[in-house]
Chain A
Amino acid sequence: MATDKPDIWDSFVHEFNPRRFLIRLAHMEIPPLEVIGRAFVRAAIVGLFLAVVLVSLYGTSWTTVDHLPQNLEDQSNIKAIGTLIFTDFVVPFEVLSIVLLSSLMGAIYMAKGEDNQ
């Protein structure tokens, strides 16, 4: 058995067993109060934000349609999206392509570094 190469089951047990977990737990260092405090504050702020959003969300009466539309022909809506891109939203589309191009150029230039190649 010891000459076997470790297989999947062995590595699994090696990593995820309660003994190691408990040891890791025992060796684990609880971060100092300061760090936990900071995390708490951040959590509180995000929680506040989340609470505000949820409360305002559930307090608003959204106007919705009664039945979700079902398009039997094109269930993934790609045809409709394509149509809209090239008719109503063609200008944003072209601008977006330019933006993509310029960001591509900028990113490559910055990522290239100082080599003069």
Chain B
Amino acid sequence: MAYENLAFLIPLLPALAFVITFFVGKKTPYGGALIPIFAIAASFLISLLITIGLLQNPDQVISQSYHWFAILNLGILIDPLAAVMLTMVTFVSLLIHIYSVGYMSHDPAKSRYFAETSLFTASMLSLILSDNILQLFISWELVGLCSYLLIGFWYQKPSAASAAKKAFLTTRIGDVMFLAGIIVLFADLFKLVNGSIPEGVYLLRFDEIFSHIPEIAAMNATILGFEVSHLTIITLLFFGGAVGKSGQFPLHVWLPDAMEGPTTVSALIHAATMVTAGVYLVARTFPMFIAAPQSLIVVAYVGAFTALFAATMGIVMNDLKRVLAYSTISQLGYMMLGLGMGAVIGAEAVGVSIFHLVSHAFFKALLFLCAGSVIHAVGTHDMRELGGVAKVMPITAATMVAASLALAGFGIPGTSIGSTGFFSKDPIIENAYLFGEHAGNWFPYIFAIVAALLTSLYIFRLLFMTFAGKPRTNYGGHESPASMTVPLSILGILALVFGAIVVEPFNKFVNSTFVNNFVNMDIPALAEVGNYELVHHAGQEPLLILWMPVIVAVIGLLIAFVIYYQKAIDMSRFVSKDNSVYKLLYNRYYQNEIFTQLFAVKFVYEGLAMAGYHIDRFIDGIVNVISYLIIEAGDSFRKVQTGVIQHYSVAVITGVSLLVILIKLVMEVF
């Protein structure tokens, strides 16, 4: 079963689909949707077959490299981590493409849409299976480009165009940091091999990078009086790139605005695939992070903070998609937190976090697609105008309930009963508890628990406000066509049962990523490079800790039930412009104002204008001074010409006398 030879087709087929759809898309039926669907279906099949082959012997990873130029190469690496990501991405992309056929059926520009989404899929796949970090960066940038194109799909709307620009610029900041990290890494590697590179060795390929980790960690640099190892710097810069792409604080501001694009775009890009590229990067370079524990702690903190921060804003939003956007940011924070727990439990953190990534892809895509279905049928985004949609769209409502259960993480600990989200989110929270026990630092755990409570609160608020009760306005709607409800149902079933079935083998599979015929990393040894040691996952936490996430999820559900279904508490006291806390949350902590008005306009723009103005005045002043001096000198000199002849004769006589004296003196000297 030489499926390895077909591995290069995985990104190639969607790329071909992009080219074909771009040129002939308008003429084909369904606006050119069939070509990408076939291409992605083929990629999905190949990925699935490769994954199954890899499951049987996990240490025979597929690695093919081709020389590009100088010491760079292009190559494919499919190890367990890449295999599961490939399968997930192709599967979700396929389902969303099928759904988009129905969703975008009224849009005149749908061929452009399908071309752009297939390009996006191609670049995301190439990102996942790149075997050196430069190729990963190239695909990273390409993915960012597609995100820009797709967010600004309805570019005639100025808000969409500016949202696309904001997304691109914000992720650009992250990309710059990523590139800086690559450059530092390359410089260090180059210095280590002392300029003599044997044939067939590619410096930026992951096995090369990983083999030099201890040496890089030994190099130290002094920045602002702190002594940090180069490895910490590189990993922090890589994490900077992930912050931009995956929407961690403070570069998360583009994600809510990215909801200006079509809902299927939000489902594909901003729930399942692109934003997970940052998590994938950290997972891919995880050995580097293990050996630089300060970076892992930073990852954990940023993730935990983002999870809480976004959840606080999600509970007050009134737009259907905005709530989901903040939910995405919050869940991405959970993923980063999960990776950060590698500081305590080692390589298992990769398995836990990636499993949460995959399950999040399923239920978040499902949530977005359901929201899209509602918006497509009803025509409005605002939840305050909805209510009682369940009567009109039962399938959508049912799948949405399934997704909400998964998001909130309902399940029974210690057994195999539970939604996917339960099996993916709970291990992260348990690891945070282990971290707290081991390092004495409880902030990640507390943040994770409070964020779980808020998560359950906002998703059930959304559910009750939209689907339950009586319609608040007269919207009129209908159930969506089959091309839309079938993907919803598939994803809904997965959201409920995928976790229970798959979690154990999945974790074992992914945890063996770093021990195979490509790289062979001894994770605990790397931890010693970073001067700490790992704790093995005990699994014997107190029962209360195991039940805590479920308890807070149920509490959130009850609060939402009471407030929004039974309307027992009148929220209008809180939900008013006079309540300063509400205003703070509703205005998203004034981040837009801070970033745009304060920082960009005041500091950068006005600062530059002021500096330019002063420099202009300064240089003008210099020129003026010079001319002024010369004019004044000339003015004083010409006063010698008085026109009175006696003065001239005085000058002549004096000059002659002095000249004679001078010559006499000079003659005497010589």
Contacts and interface: CB of A to CB of B under 8 A. Distances in A.
Please tell me whether chains A and B touch each other in their complex, using a CB distance cut-off of 8 A. yes
Interface of A: 42, 45-46, 48-49, 52, 56
B661 A52 contact: yes
Given A45-B650, A49-B653, A52-B661, 14 more contacts: A42-B650, A45-B653, A45-B654, A45-B657, A46-B653, A48-B654, A48-B657, A49-B654, A49-B656, A49-B657, A52-B657, A52-B660, A56-B660, A56-B664
Main secondary structure of the interface of A (DSSP, over half): helix
A67 B658 CA distance: 37
A52 B659 CA distance: 10
Interface pairs A-B: 4 shortest CB-CB: A52-B657, A49-B657, A48-B657, A49-B653
A49 B660 CA distance: 10
A62 to B, nearest CB: 18
A81 to B, nearest CB: 32
A49 B657 CA distance: 5
Interface of B: 650, 653-654, 656-657, 660-661, 664
A49 B656 CA distance: 8
A37 to B, nearest CB: 14
A52 B650 CA distance: 15
12 contacts: A45-B653, A45-B654, A45-B657, A46-B653, A48-B654, A48-B657, A49-B653, A49-B657, A52-B657, A52-B660, A52-B661, A56-B664
Contacts of B650: 42, 45
B14 to A, nearest CB: 100
A45 B647 CA distance: 12
Contacts of B656: 49
Contacts of A42: 650
A35 B463 CA distance: 108
Nearest to A41: B650
A49 B654 CA distance: 7
B668 to A, nearest CB: 12
A58 to B, nearest CB: 14
A10 to B, nearest CB: 42
B640 to A, nearest CB: 16
Contacts of A52: 657, 660-661
A48 B662 CA distance: 13
A116 B653 CA distance: 43
A46 B654 CA distance: 8
Contacts of B653: 45-46, 49
Nearest to B651: A45
A56 B654 CA distance: 16
Contacts of A56: 660, 664
A58 B130 CA distance: 105
Contacts of B657: 45, 48-49, 52
B340 to A, nearest CB: 92
Nearest to A52: B657
A67 to B, nearest CB: 33
B647 to A, nearest CB: 10
A52 B663 CA distance: 12
B104 to A, nearest CB: 101
Contacts of B664: 56
A102 B434 CA distance: 125
A49 B653 CA distance: 7
A78 to B, nearest CB: 36
A56 B657 CA distance: 11
A42 B657 CA distance: 14
A30 B348 CA distance: 114
B501 to A, nearest CB: 116
B419 to A, nearest CB: 110
Contacts of A46: 653
A66 B573 CA distance: 135
A45 B654 CA distance: 6
Contacts of B654: 45, 48-49
Nearest to A46: B653
B654 to A, nearest CB: 5
A2 to B, nearest CB: 50
Max count, chain A CB within 10 A of own CB: residue among B656, B657, B661: B657
A42 B661 CA distance: 19
Nearest to B664: A56
B133 to A, nearest CB: 87
A34 B650 CA distance: 18
B99 to A, nearest CB: 105
Contacts of A48: 654, 657
Contacts of A45: 650, 653-654, 657
A52 to B, nearest CB: 5
A52 B661 CA distance: 7
Nearest to A47: B657
Nearest to B656: A49
A94 to B, nearest CB: 32
B585 to A, nearest CB: 86
A52 B653 CA distance: 11
A45 B649 CA distance: 11
A48 B655 CA distance: 11
Contacts of B660: 52, 56
A2 B654 CA distance: 59
A46 B660 CA distance: 14
A42 B656 CA distance: 15
Nearest to B646: A42
A46 B653 CA distance: 8
Nearest to B660: A52
B119 to A, nearest CB: 94
Nearest to A48: B657
A46 to B, nearest CB: 7
Contacts of A49: 653-654, 656-657
A56 B661 CA distance: 10
A72 B664 CA distance: 44
B415 to A, nearest CB: 118
A114 B650 CA distance: 35
Nearest to A51: B657
A103 to B, nearest CB: 20
Contacts of B661: 52
A99 B660 CA distance: 34
A43 B656 CA distance: 16
A52 B658 CA distance: 9
A77 B334 CA distance: 131
B211 to A, nearest CB: 93
A56 B659 CA distance: 13
A63 to B, nearest CB: 21
B646 to A, nearest CB: 9
A70 B657 CA distance: 38
B656 to A, nearest CB: 7
Nearest to A44: B654
A78 B661 CA distance: 41
A9 B664 CA distance: 58
A45 B660 CA distance: 14
A47 to B, nearest CB: 10
Nearest to B653: A49
A24 B84 CA distance: 128
A49 B664 CA distance: 14
